[in-house]
Amino acid sequence: MKYLFINAVAGNGSTGRIAAEQCRALIAQGNACLLAYGRDKSGCPDVPTVRIGSELEVRLHALETRLLDNTGFGSKAATRRFLEQVRRFDPDVIWLHNLHGYYIHLGLLFDYLHSCGKEIHWMLHDCWAFTGHCPHFDFIQCDLWKTGCHDCPQKGRYPASRFRDNSRNNFLEKRRLFTGIPNLTLAVPSQWLASRVKESFLKDYPVEVVPNTVDTKVFKPTPGQFREKYGLENKRIVLGVANVWDDRKGLFDFYALASLLDERFQIVLIGLSPKQIRSLPREILGLPRTRNVQELVEAYSAADVFVNPSVEETFGMTSLEAACCGTPAIVYRDTACEEAASYYGGIAVERGAENLYRAILEIAGEGKK
């Protein structure tokens, strides 16, 4: 069997690692796989890949989005070239992952998917597929996606538009393109996301809940020099990890938490921008995003407790990665992260730094065994 995977990135980030792991598993079974990506590739030299477009084309697509709010409707030439490669590869099964990220033209891609006759699976990692703009909407409690997006209150957030609000047209065009495709099955990582899909225009497709997994040969308790490197030998480490930190990820909850924890504890946040690192309270050690998975594994393993106060996740991969490295997670209730915590151990608390603080004392009070 031949499998084609399409994702914004290959091998790195949560979705890139998931797609690469799918390829590895299928190749081990004797199948042929090709992972197509649009933006970045690392950590998967053993997986056959092809890039959709070029760095310049990604930048131009992003620029169009800033001006026109049309993410997913640029990159026409790149998509045409890619579809020629797809026809030559002639896959039996097509697996879609994240289609946002300024690298592919939805109209051209879905015109092909409507008529290709292939078995198609689409793993939704967020809510972007059924909104007119945003990947997440719970933080602002927006329900426009249920009836039809317009006057988007998140126009300035990723995928940010500086001028035009095209959310109504985006919503209508996505609904036209994404519905009525034969042989398409949706997969989601949580019951939380499945419930949202069933309220959207994608509701007529079968939906499978497939909790995310990680490679436990990689994400496992691993000794390293993380504590020594940062002078944390006598500290109880409270770790947070994200690709992008903002209020939705709980960054400011860590600020409040820092004022509650005493000198026995050290908050460490991985994934911050240089500007964020410069503005951190002195009680927080800020580190940039790492592409080195081994460094991340050693950080997870060194920590006494992992805190994920995000209120907009569709599963919470970082909580799972930490748990597989032997570090329990604290998450917020009534989020998809609670499902990850219930699957793999951890504590779910009501929102607020005080509740995180009490849970940290409960988990890390005696130190990591």
Q: What is the pLDDT along the chain (369 residues), one digit of tens a residue?
A: 999 999 999 998 889 999 999 999 999 999 999 999 999 999 899 999 999 999 999 999 999 999 999 999 999 999 999 999 999 999 999 999 999 999 999 999 999 999 999 999 999 999 999 999 999 998 899 999 999 999 999 999 999 999 999 999 999 999 999 999 999 999 999 999 999 999 999 999 999 999 888 888 999 999 999 999 999 999 999 999 998 898 889 999 999 999 999 999 999 999 999 999 999 998 999 999 988 889 999 999 999 999 999 988 888 889 989 999 999 999 999 888 888 777 777 899 999 999 999 999 988 765 454
pLDDT of residue 336: 83
Please name the helix (run of DSSP H) or strand (run of DSSP E) that holds residue 88, with its range, or none: helix 76-89
User: Among residues 153, 182, 209, which one ends one of the domains?
Assistant: 209
Locate tokens 């927080």: which residue?
284
Kindly give, in sequence order, each residue whose CB lies less than 8 Å from that of residue 165, ignoring residues fewer than 6 positions away.
69, 150, 151, 152, 155
Q: Are residues 237 and 151 in the same domain?
A: no
Calpha distance 190→94 (Å, rounded): 22
Q: Are residues 134 and 240 in the same domain?
A: no
User: Among residues 209, 244, 271, which one ends one of the domains?
Assistant: 209
Q: Are residues 204 and 234 in the same domain?
A: no
8 occurs within a structural domain: yes
pLDDT of residue 365: 65
pLDDT of residue 337: 85
36 occurs within a structural domain: yes
pLDDT of residue 213: 81
Q: Are residues 150 and 231 in the same domain?
A: no
Which domain does 241 fall in, by range?
226-364
50 occurs within a structural domain: yes
Q: Are residues 139 and 44 in the same domain?
A: yes
User: Among residues 209, 241, 270, which one ends one of the domains?
Assistant: 209
354 occurs within a structural domain: yes
CATH number of the CATH domain containing 82: 3.40.50
Q: Are residues 39 and 153 in the same domain?
A: yes
Q: In this structure, what are the phi and psi dihedrals at residue 39, rounded to the nearest 5 degrees? A: -120, -45
Q: Are residues 238 and 202 in the same domain?
A: no
Please name the helix (run of DSSP H) or strand (run of DSSP E) that holds residue 38, with its range, or none: strand 32-41
214 occurs within a structural domain: no
Calpha distance 10→17 (Å, rounded): 7
Distances (CA, A) of 20 to 10, 37, 98, 241: 6, 11, 13, 21
Q: Are residues 76 and 146 in the same domain?
A: yes
**What tokens does 88 get?**
């030559």
Q: How many domains does the chain have?
A: 2
pLDDT of residue 369: 43
Q: Are residues 240 and 200 in the same domain?
A: no
pLDDT of residue 75: 97
333 occurs within a structural domain: yes
216 occurs within a structural domain: no
pLDDT of residue 35: 98
CATH number of the CATH domain containing 230: 3.40.50.2000
